[in-house]
A and B are shown apart, each in its own frame.
Chain A
Amino acid sequence: MAIIEVKNLVKTYKISEKQNGMLGYIKHLFHPKYREQTAVNNVSFNIEEGELVGYIGENGAGKSTTIKMLTGLLTPTSGSVIVNGLVPNEKRIQNNKQIGAVFGQKTQLWWDLPVIESFRLIKKMYEIPEGEYRKNLKKFTEILQLEELLDKQVKNLSLGQKMRCEIAATFLHNPKIVYLDEPTIGLDILVKDNIRKFIKDINKEKKTTVILTTHDLKDIEEVCDRIILIDKGSIIYDGEKEKFKDIYGNKIIAEFVVKNKTKSVTLETQEEDFEVIEETENSLKIRFNHDKLTVINIVDSISKYCEILDMHVQEQGLEEILKEIYRGEIIRD
């Protein structure tokens, strides 16, 4: 049985339309007008124990709204959520014991106290056995490099240091499921890498199910096995990360350094199966589908018009694929 079952989940926000001025305010009191906005629209998915799922989408796509319903903080307008056999918004406390969560800038660390004090309170609140607490603390301190931070007051930590402590705090009680809503936002590369490594390690060791929302696709590339892509409240892709690339992508980008160009390659190759994205006097950037063509084909075609000095080939990244989906350039068959 799946550890998270989401079926036909819908969340519609009621937004009050206040008019300006005192008169408008009074009018609103007697005749409140609401505009409805559907943030999550008929979403269904199952997540198995131990999966690392990337929940991605643009700003305002409905990621946080979904996570809030999964954690029981928000009541669905319709549809159902079952997490490890519980309905989160009905059995909130019971559900809280089995999950961990990080919400962007919100923190469970005590601002004026040393980090370790917050950890100790977590130990008491979750009734973590002494041995387990020690073991986790030791391991987390090692991976997340918390050694020097534990005795510092939270208010004296940098953003990255705070997030590392926050992540450690979230995993201390061995939660079965962890929701991370934009955990790497605003962090530098080293800290991001550090956190990604931590998530992967813990997932491997404890089979913790992790759902990660982000719009940093590096997070997904490096951490997740599965992608759920949400756009305007609806899921437009759900499956393995690699398959995602196969369906939407499998495109190769080849960059060439050229000289003695005789004609405009863009014009000359209009009929061909590849696409010239960029062309200058001595460079070419070409995109093509790897199923249909090979690099050799491309080299054959363009060498009619110029002399190739150097080339560089790379697979199209997740980021570019998403950009195209958002621009409406790719429509799934």
Chain B
Amino acid sequence: MIRKIIAIAKQDAREGLYYRFDLLLYICNFMIQIAVYVFIWLAIYNQGNQILGMSFEQVTTYYILVVSLDPIIGWGINEILGEAIRDGQVLRELLHPISFFSYYFGIRIGELVEAGIVGIITFLLCAILFGIVLPQSLFHFCAFLVVIVLSIIVIYFFEMILSMSAFYTNSVWGIEILKRAIISIFSGMIAPLTLFPEWVQKIANFLPFQECIYTPINIYFGELSNIEILQTIIKQGIWITVLYLLAKFIFHKAIKNITINGG
């Protein structure tokens, strides 16, 4: 099964890498974004302001990480799957000799290869250009990676659930916007979550999205104790289980009831 998923991932990545030039443009775009942020923060810090006790280097690092993680978390399967459902191509995909979830997980990993290349290159170039704070320790860096990998799985099931609504409605685009809004607010992508009102933080604490950006970055900086890191991982495990079951449930309901367009 794993071998088949990897084969699908390779295929998807190969197709994505066919558009190498696009990936290059993404990297440029992300670097410009980071540069703008860095200069804004530079101006603020030059006026002698201190924000949340973070040094300028920390803020810079925060934004470099946010922007580099953005494609890794955000380039999911929502649009691909939604589109496939809408134009009926999903009929073909339901005829593969492996489960629908495995197939799309393969696609997700394929997308991750492209996103990973973009994210890592952006991160490295910016680290050299603007300078960064290194992770607290090797342990913290590993924990940072683990939490991100688990987040990718959480987001995968979250996207499967959202996309399957395309079986009932036709608004793939609206759902993509909704997903982006939810993730960017509650993950700390727009700004560190400590800048938000308390009630937003409470919701964010409950939802699994702050583990996409905010929590791993804090782990990177060494702001979380070992116990807190463990709690984070357990929380993610629970969310993965819940979303997995929910996604399967919705899929089996949908597949029994829907009639797919086309053909």
Contact = CB atoms under 8 A, between A and B. Distances in A.
Interface of A: 13, 64, 68, 71, 73-75, 89, 92-93, 96-97, 99, 101, 103-108, 110-113, 117-118, 121, 124-126, 173, 181
B263 A106 contact: yes
A51 to B, nearest CB: 21
Interface in B9-35: 11, 14-15, 18-19
B169 interface: no
Interface in B152-196: none
A103 B255 CA distance: 18
A189 B235 CA distance: 62
A74 B8 contact: no
B202 interface: no
A110 B226 CA distance: 45
Interface stretch (B45-53, B95-103, B126-134): B95-103
B261 to A, nearest CB: 11
Instruction: Report the interface size class on chain B.
Output: 20 to 34
Contact of A96 (B96, B262, B263): B96
A254 to B, nearest CB: 42
B14 A117 contact: yes
17 contacts: A74-B259, A93-B97, A93-B99, A96-B95, A96-B97, A103-B262, A103-B263, A106-B91, A106-B262, A108-B92, A112-B19, A121-B7, A121-B11, A124-B7, A125-B4, A125-B96, A125-B98
A117 B18 CA distance: 13
B4 A111 contact: no
Contacts of B91: 68, 73, 103, 106
B95 to A, nearest CB: 5
Given A73-B95, A117-B14, A181 B259 contact: no
A117 B94 contact: no
A181 to B, nearest CB: 6
A121 B260 contact: no
A96 B263 CA distance: 18
B97 A97 contact: yes
Interface string B236-251: 0000000000000000
B80 to A, nearest CB: 12
B88 interface: yes
Contacts of B99: 93
Given A106-B89, A106-B262, A113-B18, A93 B11 contact: no
Contacts, number: 72
Contacts of B7: 121, 124-125
Interface of B: 3-4, 7-8, 11, 14-15, 18-19, 88-89, 91-92, 94-99, 255-257, 259-260, 262-263
B88 A106 contact: yes
Given A110-B15, A113-B14, A173-B97, 13 more contacts: A73-B260, A97-B97, A101-B95, A103-B91, A103-B262, A106-B91, A107-B89, A107-B92, A112-B18, A118-B11, A121-B7, A121-B8, A125-B96
Contacts of B263: 64, 68, 103-104, 106, 181
Given A110-B11, A121-B8, A93 B88 contact: no
Contacts of A68: 91, 263
Nearest to A11: B259
A253 to B, nearest CB: 36
Contacts of B97: 93, 96-97, 125-126, 173
Contacts of B15: 110-113
A108 B96 CA distance: 9
Contact of B4 (A73, A105, A124, A181): A124
Contact of A117 (B4, B11, B255): B11
B11 A113 contact: yes
B92 A13 contact: no
Nearest to B92: A106
B2 to A, nearest CB: 12
Contacts of B96: 96, 108, 125
Contacts of A112: 15, 18-19
B3 to A, nearest CB: 7
Contacts of A126: 97
B3 A124 contact: yes
A30 B24 CA distance: 50
B8 A73 contact: no
